[in-house]
């Protein structure tokens, strides 16, 4: 048995673990990184990267089929599904060196390609190596949650971990789950020539602002995606190429392929947490505001910490604990400034409180500012006018922003900056945006907040009148 001692031991080389390893090693800490599967974790290999690459393929096909609005003849836009998946694999391969073992070894990280499990409160075994560490970080991420639906284990089904291995186009893709993953893959596959039915037990895109989510859902319906809400799956039956999903209310949905996209579960099964005195929860690992577990020398970051499950949150968590582990400074994680986006067309993004959350928290003090994309000149030129922005404002400061529309995932960045730095609406209004850009939507929303204060104010009109009469 080999034995190592280190400053920081990181279990998992996904987004959280890699961000931490890169930062800590380059600032002088001795770092050991364990990874028993693929470097880059879910995001690179099965999640954000391949899904956005496939969405890009679907968009290319759709744009060819809808070119006439720009004075260009529509084309067939027929997709080669195998070639589209080859494009996905190519994108992963291009990004993979950034997450590679070789790159991190170049930073001075000791990378061990084994799963890790606790054998004491300060020791982890990985293969034939035992590592003792001053600080241990659990960054094992999450995996697709497969619900215990009757018959599911008897039929072939896909998750995000196996979907991108397909090379033969599904004739009719059934998707259980109407969250972001389900809706993104529904639209992408429809645009690549598949029939698609989404089966959602409650409300599709139910965690987003319902008014804005409905704009996305209606767009997908108009394109041809069948979205069945209030259809909780009771039973799965059939065989390869002929699968049926039976809902609790008796509805039956038939298709050739089945994708299960109902959420994520934290990867804790291999860790033997009890040997380290680390308390698990239903969502992952119990942590405090500083991301420490019930064993103070052990942290948990990213999806396994049981909060928002996004790649950018994993990177943020790494920054939080670097401050405390390397410099001994207090550092706490918060969520009020964390944005997210769903990359359908139109896109849907959010930071801070939704309108419903803001009304519940602030009551009559809340002001909701709205600006529609069809008043943006660049959106008009691009024929991308569907959507709007809603800004929830308390005493001149935004507390939440919801956006649906073209480039909503890019537009939300400014508001994430504003919430992170407690900025005022006046600071957004003071920005000068180049014309014509989609980004003007943000400035116009801020302008819409001040417009009634300027244009509908008797006091302002009185002051202007006095200035015109008496000031030379």
Q: Do domains 2-39+100-144+265-327 and 152-262 have the same CATH topology?
A: yes
pLDDT at 460 over 80: no
For residue 454, the model assigns a pLDDT of 67
Q: Tell me: the pLDDT tens digits for 215-225? A: 999 999 999 99
- Residues that constitute the known binding site for FAD: 52, 116, 140-142, 303
Radius of gyration of the chain (CA): 25
Segment 435-458 shows an average pLDDT of 88
> Residues annotated as binding site?
52, 116, 140-142, 177-184, 200, 263, 303
Q: How far apart are CA 250 and CA 133, in angstroms?
A: 55
For residues 55-66, give the mean pLDDT.
Answer: 97
Superfamily of domain 152-262: FAD/NAD(P)-binding domain (3.50.50.60)
pLDDT digits (tens, 9 = 90+) for 398-439: 999 999 999 999 999 999 999 999 999 999 999 999 999 999
pLDDT tens column, 356-368: 999 999 999 999 9
Mean pLDDT of 58-62: 97
pLDDT of residue 340: 97
Share of the chain above pLDDT 90, in %: 94
Instruction: Supply the DSSP string of 389-444, one letter for each residue.
Output: EEEEEETTEEEEEEEEETTHHHHHHHHHHHHHTT--HHHHHT----SS-TTHHHHH
d(CA 243, CA 195): 14
Phi-psi region of 277 (alpha: psi -120 to 50; beta: other; left: phi over 0): left
Q: How much is the mean pLDDT over the chain?
A: 96
Report helix, strand and coil shares of the chain as percent, to nearest 5: 40, 25, 35
- Contact in structure between 53 and 87 (CB atoms under 8 Å): yes
Could you tell me the residue ranges of all domains in the chain?
Answer: 2-39+100-144+265-327, 152-262, 339-455
Query: 103-133 pLDDT, tens per residue?
Result: 999 999 999 999 999 999 999 999 999 999 9
- On whether the 2-39+100-144+265-327 domain is CATH 3.40.50.300, my answer is no
Q: What is the DSSP letter of 370?
A: E
Prior bond of 461 cis (ω within 30°): no
Binding-site residue ranges for NAD(+): 177-184, 200, 263
Residue 98 predicted with pLDDT over 90: yes
CATH of domain 339-455: 3.30.390.30
* pLDDT digits 0-9 by tens, 4-13: 999 999 999 9
**What pairs with residue 138 in β-bridges?**
11, 300
């Amino acid at each position: 048995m080999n034995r190592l001692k280190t400053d920081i031991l990181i279990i998992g080389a996904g987004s959280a673990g890699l961000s931490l390893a890169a930062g800590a090693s380059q600032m002088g800490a001795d770092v050991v990184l364990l990874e028993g599967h693929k470097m880059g974790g879910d995001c690179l290999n099965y999640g954000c990267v391949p899904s956005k690459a496939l969405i890009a393929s679907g968009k290319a096909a759709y744009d060819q089929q809808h070119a006439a609005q720009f004075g260009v003849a529509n084309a067939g836009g027929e997709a080669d599904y195998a070639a589209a998946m080859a494009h996905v694999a190519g994108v992963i391969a291009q990004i993979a060196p950034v997450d590679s073992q070789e790159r991190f070894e170049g930073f001075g990280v000791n990378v061990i390609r084994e799963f890790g499990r606790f054998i004491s409160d300060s020791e982890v075994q990985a293969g034939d190596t035992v590592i003792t560490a001053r600080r241990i970080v659990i960054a094992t991420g999450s995996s697709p949650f497969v619900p215990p639906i009757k018959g599911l284990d008897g039929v072939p089904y896909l998750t995000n971990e196996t979907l991108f291995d397909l090379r033969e186009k599904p004739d009719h893709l059934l998707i259980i789950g109407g969250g972001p993953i389900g809706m993104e893959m529904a639209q992408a596959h429809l645009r690549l020539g598949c029939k698609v039915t989404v089966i959602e037990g409650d409300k599709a895109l139910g965690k987003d602002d319902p008014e804005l989510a409905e704009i996305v859902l209606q767009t997908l319906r108009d394109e041809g995606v069948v979205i069945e809400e209030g259809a909780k799956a009771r039973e799965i039956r059939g065989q390869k190429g002929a699968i049926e999903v039976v809902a609790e209310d008796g509805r039956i949905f038939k298709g050739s392929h089945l994708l299960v996209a109902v959420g994520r579960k934290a990867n804790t099964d291999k860790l033997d947490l009890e040997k380290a005195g680390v308390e698990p929860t239903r969502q992952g690992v119990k942590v405090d505001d500083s991301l420490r577990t019930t064993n103070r020398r052990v942290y948990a970051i990213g999806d396994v910490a049981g909060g928002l499950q996004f790649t950018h949150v994993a990177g943020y968590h790494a920054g939080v604990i670097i401050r405390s582990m390397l410099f001994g400074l207090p550092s706490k994680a918060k969520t009020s400034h964390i944005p997210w986006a769903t990359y359908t067309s139109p896109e849907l993004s959010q930071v801070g409180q939704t309108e419903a959350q803001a009304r519940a928290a602030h009551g009559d003090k809340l002001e909701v500012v709205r600006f529609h994309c069809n008043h943006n000149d660049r959106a008009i030129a691009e024929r991308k006018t569907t959507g709007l922005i809603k800004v929830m404002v308390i005493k001149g400061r935004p507390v939440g922003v919801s956006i649906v529309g073209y480039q909503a995932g890019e537009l939300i960045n400014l508001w994430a900056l504003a919430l992170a730095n407690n900025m005022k609406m006046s600071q957004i209004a003071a920005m000068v945006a180049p014309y014509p850009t989609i980004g003007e939507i943000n400035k116009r929303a801020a302008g819409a907040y001040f417009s009634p204060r300027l244009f509908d104010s008797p006091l302002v009109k009185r002051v202007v009148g006095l200035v015109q009469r008496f000031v030379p």
